[in-house]
Amino acid sequence: MNSRIEVTDKGKKVIFEPGVIKIEKEREYGDLKAAIEKAFSPERVTKFLKALDSRGIRVRSLDAVLTTDAIDAGAGNKAGTARSLHGSLPISDQSQVRELYLSKVEEVDAALRAKFHKLYQYY
């Protein structure tokens, strides 16, 4: 993901790059990242979205997704694993997880997004 922004100001090119926030608990973050990526993998994302749909959870509501163990269901992990990992992370790492999760939400194929349009609706 390239977050680099180039702006021309008075004929000068200025490049902005966001600061990198270091992950404090790399193992826990890595395990949770792997579970999120697995839940959003092409072969599992439909199951994940069905789990959200059956529970009446909107896809962008990470707190509800974690509370109901939907990531674990989608990734094929033991219930409570993702919630426990997320809870063990400091706020800065949790923010990184939220950003990762929301980026995965937006990467879902357009046809699946249309099929599960209720999950993707804004209020």
Strands (E), 10-97: 12-16
Q: Could you give the number of structural domains in the chain?
A: 1
- pTM for the model stands at 0.81
Do the domain assignments include residue 4?
no
Do the domain assignments include residue 95?
yes
Q: Calculate the CA 53 to chain-centre distance.
A: 17
Do the domain assignments include residue 43?
yes
Do the domain assignments include residue 16?
no
Do the domain assignments include residue 20?
no
Residues 63-76 pLDDT 10s: 999 999 999 999 99
Do the domain assignments include residue 103?
yes
Strand-pairing partners, residue 15, are 6
How far apart CA 100 and CA 4 sit, in angstroms, is: 17
Domain containing residue 62: 25-120
pLDDT at 20: 75
Confidence of residue 3 (pLDDT cuts 50, 70, 90): low
Do the domain assignments include residue 66?
yes
pLDDT at 1: 46
